[in-house]
Structure 1
Amino acid sequence: MSFEITERDLAGRAGVLLTRRGEVETPCLMPVINPVKNLIPARELKDNFGFKMIITNSYLILKHFGHEAPDVHQLVGYDGAIMTDSGAYQLLIYGGVETDPHEIVKFQERIGSDIGVILDTPTGGFASRTDAEKTVEETIRRARLSLEWREDPTMLWAGPIQGGRYLDLIRRSARTMGRLDFQTHPLGSPVQIMEGYDYSTLVDMIVAAKLSLPPDRPLHLFGAGHPMMLALAVALGCDLFDSAAYALFAKDDRYLTVRGTFRLDRLTELPCNCPVCSRYSQKDLLEMPKKEREENLARHNLYVTASEMKAIRQALKEGGLWELVEARSRAHPKLYEAYKRLGKYAKYLEENDPVIGKEVKGIFIYDKHSLARPEVMRHRKRVIENYSRPPGKEIGVFIPNPPERPYIKSKEYKYAAEILSGQEFHICFYGEPFGVVPSELSETFPLSQYECSEGIGMNVAKELKKFISANAYRKVFIIDPRSTMVIEGAKTLRSIDEIRGQLDEDSP
């Protein structure tokens, strides 16, 4: 077993990837290192920024140094775990590479890669259906051959998943690759999709892959490294990331933040307190020679990225990943669209989110899209499917959620319980965000550990109707001072005091 999951939140996992160079904590982002000319020394990535694993390109090493290339750790000056790509990205961009699947597998073993990638055939973001099918089948063919060629049992291998925008092809690719003896699985072709800010399609692609892979395999989102979208990808189940964005953006004088990317010449303040931004002003950076400015911007971009990965791991471990995703989603309208798409996969998130063993933490409900979070979905589902009213409680009385929590400690509940002193009354609460809350459950998590904005647009009447139908009360009273809650088979009253009068009228 090369991957151990230690904690979960949503579909995200905190874990440990075991490599021959030691343990790597996940979720993990690997900065991309150019093996020929790198902007930031590789050792600095570990010592100053805390990156425990990096990725470089074995094809570029082969092309520039030939088969006499030294060990990759010696070459780039890094003593931690190193993953090597195979040249597939160059194949996608330039249409061909000067190597073949067998040569690059053997070369990665020879230079001491800790995790190697087979030479797959990337689908890309704009391939036709016919071309996409060809890339999936060719990648599978190469994967089977590559596993036969490997000789080093201590080296991990990555089996890429292809299919592009075609979700059925992603599922087919993931199912087949998942049956082969790979230790990690990169999801190929997201770069072009992310460059177009099509994060909603990316959500679909990730979930399609996750639902088709063995659960003990880490999913690697190839080429994803902008800090504003990492929390969303982790929440969906991505474990590994790699990115050259820190260097590419710095080259173009672009400044990364969790709120998006800014042109350096359009900033008047540096909204960061990293060592670079603490030492220099925006004016200082602009007046630097190009190379020095590029290096400092790259360092800032790395600090921001490393900080965001720490924030994600902390949120995951304390059960606050949803709130972080929700906050980050406001960085860009397309990212917010992707966040809203989580509602489509609410069942997937709820099934992967742990019920026990997770830190109990109050939840925030901001709007109707927050209702897709697992804690809310789980209660609404279980109170209909798994709950039965207590025996003998044949008269259902539904009162609006009081402001005090737990609800049974409120003056509204105490008054209702005093007025309705008979054993036959079953008092429940109704309202946003949980729909119906039976009084005897109101102290359980998260029914009293939440904060909710007013008027988030939940269809409370629908939840009431389902609950009442499922519990077959002899009589039902809904207390609604505005008399707007009308449910078939129930009587709507303005106050709890009217119930006794209604019962007297109904008596023979």
Structure 2
Amino acid sequence: MTFEIRERDILARIGRLKTKSGEIETPLLFPVVNPNVQPISPKRMREVFGCNALITNAYILKKRFGDKPIEKGVHNFLDFNGVVMTDSGAYQILVYGDIEATPKEIVEYQERIDADIATILDLPTGWKVSKKYAENTVRETLKRAKELFQTKTREDILWVGPIQGGRYLDLVAESAVKVGELPFQIHALGSPTEVMEHYRFDVLVDMIMTAKMNMPMKRPLHLFGAGHPFMFALAVALGCDLFDSAAYAIYARENRYMTEQGTSRLNELEYFPCACPRCSKTTPKDVLEMPQNERQTFLAEHNLYTCLTELRRIKNAIKEGRLWEHLKIRANGHPALLQALKKLKKYEDFIERHSPTTKKAGIFFFDSLDLARPEVVRHRKRMSERYAPPKKAELLILMPQIQMKPFHKSKMFKETMKLLKNKFKRQLDKIHVCFYAAPFGVIPIELDEIYPLSQHETMMPPDMETREYVANQTANYINSTSYKAILMFHDPENWNKSVLNACKKACSKKNIKFKYLKVERARSKTMLKEIEKLFNRNGRTSLD
């Protein structure tokens, strides 16, 4: 197997991709190298920055250097002893309309220069194009993809099959299915650059997710032109394994300074908000006074450090099971990213199915956006599809969540059970206790130690949307079960009347006896009297 997955979180994977020049670990950034204008040498990238892979443009090499990369081999030509990926010139088609090479010539050239990972010359869709034009790019890209397997002569190069369609998601799906049927080792989402340049990350979510849902999941996905570290977490969380970017160098030429939250102009900075080896030794003022070439190299190196550092943070988050938390931090750094995060709800079922069921760490719940977390979605689905209360249960006691977890170790639960055992010792099997809790909804007491029902943190009171979600989940649970009576411990301080009103309505609809006590009156003789009333049958209680 070429690609081996080691760790997962959301749709992100830490994996190992085997090439003829060695293994690379995903998620991985391929810095774009242009031999004509290169502020950081490939050798320095390897030795100083630890980059073991880069990408260069096969069409540019062919046009400007001819046979030299063939004679020396692309690794020696670039003076780089790591993994070399080559792009095909498709971006130049997008910018200039055409290039002076055929798809067959580009395939043959990439083989002859000895690339490790190579890309067919696809026809990029672009951004604001008609659907008719987009359909043509999908057909032509598929045609060229099929031709690869009649043209190529080597089996040791990993080939990238691009997925086209642009903003037309039905075409993206069609392209992903048909290109995915061919024996490519890697796929790439084509035409995302203009979407990202316009900060339409919500559209990018649709494009990536449509590709992921229709391509073979076991293959890595490359996102072309994912240049800025502030959106890496989003792309990785959606299942992008590989990236390439020239932004570190392009921004440097424009005196632009990257951070994980955004970009600053060098002349706007009083201090460097970074402790990388370059920034820790100087000031923005000193850098502005450098000769242009030195300043460009300084900024390019800082920008590359920033990109690589963010990917390391993301990998740590995946390992720790906290990628969602990291994504929330990044999304709250820019309105366009926050809008994109909201879009994940549209794909919550797919994301849940392909997310790990357990993690090394508990989860943090911040606000209603986190209701789309895979863990929350999974609990809702399993409660609906797999769970049934104890067969003999007639009375449901609904308790509000408390800070102590697991809930069965809490003082409230222990004192309640002590009272019930003293009064209804022989009939306890008719009483079932559940908690209503953010963000999960209903948590049956017998499940409260299952991950992550005890392994989460949330602050009370929850926001309005979360209260309504929990109220709806509680009502749905009542509607799907066969209790004869319900006693609710009402916590108005944290829940207002949202859960209370939802329970009343559900019980009224099913003609179930319903009583509630404010939480401070629970665990008392009042509670026992209410239970007796709920179970009264012609003057007698079925619990006697």
TM-score by length of structure 2 reads 0.91
Q: 1:224 to 1:93 in 2, by over 3 A?
A: same
Residue 255 of structure 1: CA displacement? 0.5
Q: Is the 8 A contact 2:3 2:16 kept in 1?
A: yes
Per-residue CA distance 1:292-312 (angstroms, 9 max, x = gap): 001000000011111111111
Measured against aligned partners, the alpha-carbon deviations of 1:204-249 in whole angstroms (never above 9, x if no partner) come to 0000000111111110000002101001101100000000010000
Query: Segments of 4+ in structure 1 off by > 6 A?
Result: none
Corresponding residue number in structure 1 for 2:275: 273
Given candidates 440, 443, 448, the residue that maps to 1:437 is 443
Give 2:145's aligned amino acid. Answer: A
Q: Which residue identity does 1:237 align to in structure 2?
A: G
Cα distance in structure 2, aligned partners of 1:213 and 1:206: 11
- What pairs with 1:64-143 in structure 2 (closer than 5 Å)? 64-69=64-69, 70-143=72-145
Deviation at 1:431, TM superposition (A): 2.5
| Distance in structure 2 (CA, Å) of the matches to 1:218 and 1:156 | 11
Report the Cα offset of residue 58 of structure 1: 0.7
Q: What is the rounded CA distance, in whole Å, between the counterparts of 1:330 and 1:471 in structure 2?
A: 40
- Structure 2 CA distance for partners of 1:438 and 1:234, relative to 1, 3 Å: same
CA distance in 1, matches of 2:141, 2:433: 60
Q: How many angstroms apart in 1 are the aligned matches of 2:55 and 2:384?
A: 49
Q: Is the 8 A contact 1:227 1:257 kept in 2?
A: yes
Determine the C-alpha separation between the residues in 2 that align with 1:199 and 1:320. 21
* Paired position in structure 2 for 1:492: 516
Equivalent in the alignment of 1:461? 471
Matches of 2:489 and 2:359, distance apart in 1: 35
Question: Hey, what does 2:303 align to over in structure 1?
Answer: 301
2:233 to 231, 247, 255: 231
- The residue aligned with 2:324 is 322
Which amino acid in 2 is paired with 1:500?
Answer: L
Q: Distance in 2 between matches of 1:157 and 1:216?
A: 15
Q: For residue 138 of structure 1, report the CA deviation from its aligned partner.
A: 0.5
User: Which residue number in structure 2 is paired with residue 260 of structure 1?
Assistant: 262
| 1:502 alignment partner in structure 2 | 530
- Note the alpha carbon deviations across 1:357-399, whole angstroms, 9 max, x for none: x533111111100111111111122123211112322210001
| Pair 1:210 & 2:212 matched | yes
Alignment partner of 2:198 out of 196, 202, 216: 196
Gaps of 5+ in 1: none
Matched, 1:290 2:292: yes
Q: CA deviation at 1:14?
A: 0.9
Distance in 1 separating the partners of 2:27 and 2:305: 16
The reply on whether 1:371 has 2:371 as its aligned counterpart is: yes
Task: Within 5 Å, give how 1:28-67 maps onto structure 2.
Answer: 28-67=28-67
How far apart are the structure 1 equivalents of 2:448 and 2:360? Answer: 15
Q: What is the alpha-carbon root mean square deviation over aligned residues? A: 1.3
- SS of equivalent residue, structure 2 residue 162: coil
CA contact (8 A) 1:161 1:173 kept: yes
Partner-residue secondary structure (3-state), 1:40:
coil
Q: Distance in 2 between matches of 1:196 and 1:453?
A: 36
- Which runs of structure 2 are paired with 1:331-370 in the superposition (5 Å)? 331-355=333-357, 358-370=358-370
CA deviation string 1:386-438 (max 9, x = no partner): 11112322210001112222211111111211222231211111131111111
Give 1:470's aligned amino acid. S
SS at match of 1:207: helix
The alpha-carbon distance between structure 1 residues 406 and 14, as it changes in their structure 2 partners (threshold 3 A), is same
Q: Aligned letter for 2:528?
A: R
- Superposition map of 1:417-428 within 5 A: 417-421=417-421, 422=424, 423=428, 424-428=430-434
Once residues 229 and 33 of structure 1 are traced to their aligned partners in structure 2, the CA distance between those partners, rounded to angstroms, is: 21
- Bigger shift: 392-401 or 497-506? 497-506
Question: Bigger shift: 193-202 or 33-42?
Answer: 33-42
Equivalences for residues 160-171 of structure 1 within 5 A: 160-171=162-173
What is the rounded CA distance, in whole Å, between the counterparts of 1:360 and 1:306 in structure 2? 24
The aligned counterpart of 2:27 is 27
Larger radius of gyration: 2
Residue of structure 2 equivalent to 1:409: 409
The whole-number CA distance in structure 1 between the counterparts of 2:35 and 2:89 is: 13
Q: 1:158 aligns with which of 135, 160, 165?
A: 160
Distance 1:93 1:183 in 2: 27
Query: In the TM superposition, what is the alpha-carbon distance from 1:502 to its structure 2 partner?
Result: 2.8
Question: Hey, what's the Cα distance between the residues in 1 that align with 2:322 and 2:2?
Answer: 27
Contact 2:515 2:530 in 1 (8 A): no
Write out per-residue CA displacement over residues 9-48 of structure 1, whole angstroms, 9 at most, x where no aligned residue.
Answer: 1111111111000101011110000022311000111211
Question: Aligned ranges for residues 178-189 of structure 1 at < 5 Å?
Answer: 178-189=180-191
Distance 1:109 1:38 in 2: 24
How far has the Cα of 1:466 moved from its partner?
Answer: 1.2
Q: Output the CA distance in 2 between the equivalents of 1:102 and 1:448.
A: 58
1 CA distance for matches of 2:360 and 2:26?
Answer: 22
Q: What is the deviation of 1:481?
A: 4.7
Q: What's the secondary structure of 1:447's corresponding residue? A: coil
CA distance in 1, matches of 2:2, 2:329: 33
Q: What is the alpha-carbon distance in structure 2 between the residues aligned to residue 153 and residue 54 of structure 1?
A: 21
Greater CA drift, 66-75 or 178-187: 66-75
1:271 is paired with a residue whose SS is coil
Shift of 1:68: 4.3
TM-score, length of structure 1 as denominator length: 0.97
C-alpha separation in 2, matches of 1:503 and 1:372: 37
* Secondary structure at the counterpart of residue 186 of structure 1: strand
Q: Is the 8 A contact 1:129 1:166 kept in 2?
A: yes
How far apart, in 1, do the equivalents of 2:531 and 2:185 lie?
A: 67
SS in 2 for 1:177: helix
| Counterpart residue type for residue 415 of structure 1 | E
Correspondence for 1:248? 250
1:81: Cα distance to partner? 0.6
Task: Quote the offset at 1:71 in angstroms.
Answer: 1.0
